[in-house]
Structure 1
Amino acid sequence: MPAPLTEENIRRAPKVLLHDHLDGGLRPATVIELAQQTGYDKLPTTDVDELSTWFYGAAHSGSLERYLETFAHTVGVIQTRDALIRVAAECAEDLADDGVVYAEVRFAPELHVEQGLTHEEVIDAVLEGFARGTAAAAARGHVIVVRALLTAMRHAAHSREIAALAVAFRDKGVAGFDIAGAEKGFPPSRHLDAFEYLRRENAHFTIHAGEGFGLPSIWEAIQWCGADRLGHGVRIVEDIDTAAAGDGEAPALGLLAQYVRDKRIPLELAPTSNVQTGAAASIAEHPIGLLTDLKFRVTVNTDNRLMSGCTMTSEMLGLVEAFDYPWETLQWFTVNAMKSAFLPFDERLAIINDVIKPGYAELINA
């Protein structure tokens, strides 16, 4: 008999996370302590519980722009090397404790230079933190591999420089490149020189697209920029006609949706975050149900654990409750993510065969 799909058992299951923001996953207590240490005096409250509630409430506004405003506080307290190391180490430990065995955590070096750090120093500090956190987790029996994604802000003009750093650090713990920020008015094609450079360097990159803006954002990310993955991509559902699904017929896919599915372009879906930013009405109504049924390359992610008040365990538990998914579907999400990771093929295969499949086999055949 399969093990019950409880929170405790889902936490035990090996999980893979492709879309998680370092500055969106701080512990509330750490935010307060770092604010006190660095002299940051703009927090709405210094009570841990009240601060957690404030972040969640601000993020649950239904507006991507309002959601992004919460980052002023988290970014504000991680402007020193020590702060970056601490936050990155805690990130790795928290993910490992949640059963994550592989994670790609993204951050924007350009957001952490207010007190004089260079982009290179920011990256070094974060990678040092990941190394410390993974070592501490391993000492407790939780093995995790953490790689960084370097993010450029789509409203700024540093993408070519950050892309070069992603290439320079790719043998030191950086898995790839990303652009993030408000989508509307800032199309990915503004950063075409960065993406062309990355392709010449045989480098991997994902692009935030199809969350705050619709199909044109997804089309540009893929067809103009050549994205390997779509950061969210949830609004690809706008190119799927479910009204055509009567009398046993499958929904009709538009040309873009058909292309995304045929090419197995991974969708970095983050259900709770997508609901908070207005990209989905609720978990039960989230397009992940339809996209899973249609066998898109669906992956499950946290996006911002602090703002969304979520973990990989809670995201998967929410999907089980909403869609009655069995262990086999959770394993499918996990294998999808590992197949889509910016990691060499043999390393991906080893994690799938040696960690993910045995871990789920124990739960399915408990």
Structure 2
Amino acid sequence: MTTPTRDEVRRAPKVLLHDHLDGGLRPQTVLELAADCGHDLPASDAGSLGRWFTDSADSGSLERYLETFDHTVGVMQTAHGLTRVGRECVEDLAADGVVYAEVRYAPEQHVSNGLTLDEVVAAVQEGIDEGTAATDGRIVVRQLLTAMRHQARSREIAELAVAWRDRGVAGFDIAGAEAGYPPTRHLDAFEYLQRENSHFTIHAGEAFGLPSIWQAIQWCGADRLGHGVRIIDDITVGEDGSVELGRLAAYVRDRRIPLEMCPASNLQTGAAASLAEHPIGLLTELRFRVTVNTDNRLMSGTSMTDEMWNLVQTFGYSLADLRWFTLNAMKSAFLPFDERLALIDEIIKPGYAELGA
């Protein structure tokens, strides 16, 4: 199979399940919104500010990585700011060849200036609608509402996600530093979502190991794993190349539980030492339900094209492999089955066929 060019990767239809709205702002937008609200920034021009974000995030520490969000979240406290960020997010993803995306953020982090949780979701949805219209409907975007694992508002955010589920919100998530804040602290929220037949993903197995993944699946009932890279700790590779899966890894693979893998971000937070050593290589070879994602496009200086192109260069993946990642993601989306099928049959498969895959 021939190796695709970067332009072919850019043109290929892509599906994005793990992308943080507050991690994908344009540097120029951060500058302009900061000027509007009087927020102090560490740089005064877009180029320098963009470099500051990537340099600060490139520290090898998840906690330091999360500090960069003080500035993006800081300028996302008004309806105007949230709508603009939502609109530009859709425009940027569509320009990168993304045909379906679930974009997540924590509404509770955007109420400092008096917005209600409901007003936050409405403002973001307005931006998504504007962006979708501006791109002639080339992309479908849904919201995922995130609760912060170190706070105590997860049930409230879960109820908000259910209230908005027919108006643009596809599901729920919890995020934030894993160590010391296990997903079981939010069991009430997850049980509520299950009773409401609602979808949710959980950040697990990024900075913390197998217990976090086990709890997310077996105690909380997660539909998908945000990151999940540490599932590799339950896989043993022998000197002869033989592979043995532990019980948890086998369960994750057998049940086709989707892994929302974010390679560039994982390198920054120290979850993997290099892309060549990233668990995505072995997990793909073992045919786990692997998906490729951006996490935070601003902090990682990345895009879906960048993520896939880097995998092509590192692992020699073909367009057929990229198609496999994309179909994995579309099958795993929190979108009704008929809508997923339509995107697969009418957009994704024809798009790859046009490129020769």
TM bin, normalised by shorter chain, reads over 0.9
Corresponding residue of 2:153 = 158
Looking at structure 2, the residues matched to 23 and 46 of structure 1 have their Cα atoms a distance apart, in angstroms, of 19
* TM-score for both structures, normalised by structure 2: 0.99
| Amino acid corresponding to residue 336 of structure 1 in structure 2 | N
Partners of 1:221 and 1:227 within 8 A in 2? yes
Looking at structure 2, the residues matched to 14 and 20 of structure 1 have their Cα atoms a distance apart, in angstroms, of 16
Cα shift at 1:283: 1.1
| Amino acid corresponding to residue 60 of structure 2 in structure 1 | G
Corresponding residue of 1:318 = 310
Looking at structure 1, the residues matched to 140 and 244 of structure 2 have their Cα atoms a distance apart, in angstroms, of 39
Task: State the secondary structure of the residue aligned to 2:59.
Answer: coil
Alignment of 1:10-29 (within 5 A): 10-29=9-28
| 1:168 pairs with one of 158, 163, 167 | 163
Cα shift at 1:15: 0.2
Cα shift at 1:9: 1.5
Partners of 1:245 and 1:252 within 8 A in 2? no
Alignment of 1:24-35 (within 5 A): 24-35=23-34
| Amino acid corresponding to residue 278 of structure 2 in structure 1 | H
Alignment RMSD:
1.0
Looking at structure 1, the residues matched to 70 and 4 of structure 2 have their Cα atoms a distance apart, in angstroms, of 37
Corresponding residue of 1:299 = 291
Cα shift at 1:245: 5.7
| Amino acid corresponding to residue 88 of structure 2 in structure 1 | E
Looking at structure 1, the residues matched to 306 and 12 of structure 2 have their Cα atoms a distance apart, in angstroms, of 12
Task: State the secondary structure of the residue aligned to 1:306.
Answer: coil
Partners of 1:302 and 1:315 within 8 A in 2? yes
Number of residue pairs aligned between Structure 1 and Structure 2: 357
* Contiguous gaps of at least 5 residues in structure 1: none
Corresponding residue of 1:67 = 65
Corresponding residue of 2:207 = 212
1:289 has 2:281 as partner: yes
Partners of 1:18 and 1:105 within 8 A in 2? yes
Cα shift at 1:7: 1.9
| 2:50 pairs with one of 49, 52, 68 | 52
| Amino acid corresponding to residue 170 of structure 2 in structure 1 | A
Task: State the secondary structure of the residue aligned to 1:307.
Answer: coil
Partners of 1:29 and 1:48 within 8 A in 2? yes
Distance 1:245 1:101, change over 3 A: farther
Looking at structure 1, the residues matched to 335 and 224 of structure 2 have their Cα atoms a distance apart, in angstroms, of 13
| 1:353 pairs with one of 341, 345, 352 | 345
Cα shift at 1:119: 0.2
Looking at structure 1, the residues matched to 200 and 314 of structure 2 have their Cα atoms a distance apart, in angstroms, of 31
**CA offsets 1:119-162 (integer angstroms, 9 cap, x no match):** 00000000010000011011xxx600000000000000100000
Looking at structure 1, the residues matched to 353 and 229 of structure 2 have their Cα atoms a distance apart, in angstroms, of 30
* Contiguous gaps of at least 5 residues in structure 2: none
Looking at structure 1, the residues matched to 215 and 109 of structure 2 have their Cα atoms a distance apart, in angstroms, of 25
Corresponding residue of 1:178 = 173
* TM-score for both structures, normalised by structure 1: 0.96
Corresponding residue of 2:4 = 5
Looking at structure 2, the residues matched to 123 and 226 of structure 1 have their Cα atoms a distance apart, in angstroms, of 25
Task: State the secondary structure of the residue aligned to 2:298.
Answer: helix
1:125 has 2:123 as partner: yes
Task: State the secondary structure of the residue aligned to 2:147.
Answer: strand
Corresponding residue of 2:251 = 259
